[in-house]
Amino acid sequence: MSALSPHPIRRAPEGPLFFVVMDGVGIGAGDASDAVAAACTPTLDWLRQLPSASALLAHGVAVGMPSDRDMGNSEVGHNTIGAGRVFAQGAKLVASAIASGQMFEGEAWQRAVAHVRASGEALHFVGLLSDGNVHSHIDHLVAMLERAAAEGVARSRVHILLDGRDVEQRSALRYIDQLEAVLTRLRGDGRDYCIASGGGRMKITMDRYEADWNMVAEGWRVHVQGQGRRFNSAREAVETMYAESSVSDQWLEGFVIADASGPVGPIRDGASVLLFNFRGDRALELSRAFESGPEFREFDRGEVPDVFFAGMMQYDGDLRLPKSFLVEPPAIDRTMGELLARAGKRQLAIAETHKYGHVTYFWNGNRSGRFDPSRETYIEVASDLDPLEERPWMKAAEVTDRLVAEVQTHPYDLVRVNYANGDMVGHTGDLHAARMAVEAVDLCVGRLVAVVKRMRGILLVTADHGNADQMFEFKNDERIVRTSHSLNPVPFAVFDPSAPGQSPRLSAKVVRDTTPGLANLAATTLELLGLRAPEDYEPSLLANPDEEAG
């Protein structure tokens, strides 16, 4: 662990440095699909005029994804912001482990296969079925199914979670047909491979931050117990529910595939279960349900089957959850949160439930807990469970109220806050609601500007990825609602009341000679706090004070 040293020129402000993440608020094309541009945002408009205003990359290789065709997301965005360096992330790590064969040579895969060979039970796969590459990728599932068949696994069952959030709203049938074609091909030579259950990701299984354990309970009932509305096939289930309502894939009810003998794939003693999502936040609760003993109280699991369970990755290294996993997660060390804690700096992290883990766990390099509890305060403001398009302001005001009260009564060096509105409401596909969501964030950032002036602090404003900035697109002259993240850059600005022009200037070398991204923010933050960043951090975006004067 390298200790932080004082910056040779820059000094810390009298008040706190406020680091604001406007989740999902990117820089769009300014067209009719851009809810950010359509919103009334006097504060953001003013920030864009500051000398520090710029745009940062928040997707693709700049945040550790396999290619620039891949969207960023809140997990990798906060990882990259906190780490100050670009680490290969879940999607890239998994693709590499599959391509090299390393996944299949690992202990978890070999145990899963050996377990079902000995028991005669099925090898079960549970996960998000799409190519969104945010939580999972269908190609990873296909590769594992093909390998299982090649290694002599006789029975396999797939429990599919429908996306409609990181991909088109009603695209489930495309992925189901792709998967069914693979399963049909693999069913030769006496193998029995099929889809066993499914449902929308926002209705079953994929809860996060313990916001609604009922989702996980319903997923358990459908996947494990085989209890739910029955259909002959996944396609029939989706087509039937499409005809019954206008909801998108993510909100479809859970379903069970059954034949004349009953459900085709309940999870029984002797089975192996592989959760093929690589992203951790929406995989932790199901992992707990499988691995916890009698102390588990979140819902009634009934008779818990004796299975071998593994995740695609270890979703929480501190909790060692799950115990077995297929691919090693990124080893993110020396995050700025850890370095600041070791340097004795006082930190506040605050967000509503939807993004609380992002300003804590993900910001800290996928680490639970605090580095120094005496100097770190983490505050979670409970999110509503009501439909977000009906209340796009969410808990932004309450988060701001609590933040302002906290900094007025306790001294902090760094305050990090996430406003979830742009991302969470953007995922609904409701353009009007997304515009109001961005306006709610702008209002709250405006309140922080006043606090910064009064406390003689500094305000840094950015985003972790885009979303509300592209709410629809056209394909073959058809307008398609987007509920996924965008590939657009995100804003960056620093307001410093004590600086000339109320803002430091940007380093011409960083901005012009390279393409800056979220990884540059850690060194920038440390510099604003009067500290020199580690040499292997991506460089600060700021010009030195003497360069600014010149």
CATH code, domain with 369: 3.40.720.10
Show the 3-state SS of 64-88.
CCCCCCCCCCHHHHHHHHHHCCCCC
- Whether 299 and 428 share a structural domain: no
Whole-number Å distance between alpha carbons of 93 and 324: 17
The helix or strand, by DSSP H or E, that contains position 474, with its residue range, turns out to be strand 472-475
- 25 within 8 A of 426, measured Cβ to Cβ: no
Q: Residue for token digits 């299984």? A: 205
- 116 within 8 A of 270, measured Cβ to Cβ: yes
Give the ranges where 53-168 is alpha helix by DSSP (H): 74-83, 90-100, 102-105, 107-119, 138-150
* CATH for 212: 3.40.1450.10
Catalytic pick among 74, 156, 171, 507: 74
- Whether 83 and 136 share a structural domain: no
461 to each of 43, 430, 505, how far by Cα in Å? 11, 25, 15
Beta bridge partners of 256: 197, 230
pLDDT tens, N- to C-terminus, the chain (550 residues): 568 999 999 999 999 999 999 999 999 999 999 999 999 999 999 999 999 999 999 999 999 988 888 888 898 999 999 999 999 888 999 999 999 999 999 999 999 999 999 999 999 999 999 999 989 999 999 999 999 999 999 999 999 999 999 999 999 999 999 999 999 999 988 899 999 999 999 999 999 878 899 999 999 999 999 999 999 999 999 999 999 999 999 999 999 999 999 999 999 999 999 999 998 889 999 999 999 999 999 999 999 999 999 999 988 765 778 999 999 878 899 999 999 999 999 999 999 999 999 999 999 998 889 999 999 999 999 999 899 999 999 999 999 999 999 999 999 999 999 999 999 999 999 999 999 999 999 999 999 999 999 999 999 999 999 999 999 988 777 888 888 889 999 999 999 999 989 999 898 777 777 789 999 999 999 999 999 999 999 999 999 755 554 4
End-to-end CA distance of the chain: 36
- Whether 38 and 83 share a structural domain: yes
Is 484 designated active site? no
The helix or strand, by DSSP H or E, that contains position 455, with its residue range, turns out to be helix 431-455
- Asked if residue 158 belongs to a domain, the reply is yes
pLDDT computed for residue 151 by the predictor: 97
- Asked if residue 116 belongs to a domain, the reply is yes
Whole-number Å distance between alpha carbons of 1 and 69: 35
Structure tokens at 409: 């009564």
Q: Which of 321, 214, 225 is nearest to 275 (CA)?
A: 321
pLDDT computed for residue 495 by the predictor: 98
pLDDT computed for residue 473 by the predictor: 86
Whole-number Å distance between alpha carbons of 33 and 484: 13
pLDDT computed for residue 2 by the predictor: 64
- Residue where one domain finishes, among candidates 288, 310, 327: 327
- Asked if residue 288 belongs to a domain, the reply is yes
- Residue where one domain finishes, among candidates 288, 309, 327: 327
- Asked if residue 504 belongs to a domain, the reply is no
Whole-number Å distance between alpha carbons of 448 and 456: 12
Show the 3-state SS of 189-224.
CCCEEEEEEEEECCCCCCCCCCCCHHHHHHHHHHHC
Show the 3-state SS of 428-447.
CCCHHHHHHHHHHHHHHHHH
Structure tokens at 71: 């969207």
- Asked if residue 378 belongs to a domain, the reply is yes
- Whether 82 and 107 share a structural domain: no
- Residue where one domain finishes, among candidates 265, 294, 327: 327
405 to each of 331, 399, 408, how far by Cα in Å? 36, 10, 5
| b/e map 100-109, b = 16+ CB within 10 Å | eeebbebebb
- 46 within 8 A of 506, measured Cβ to Cβ: no
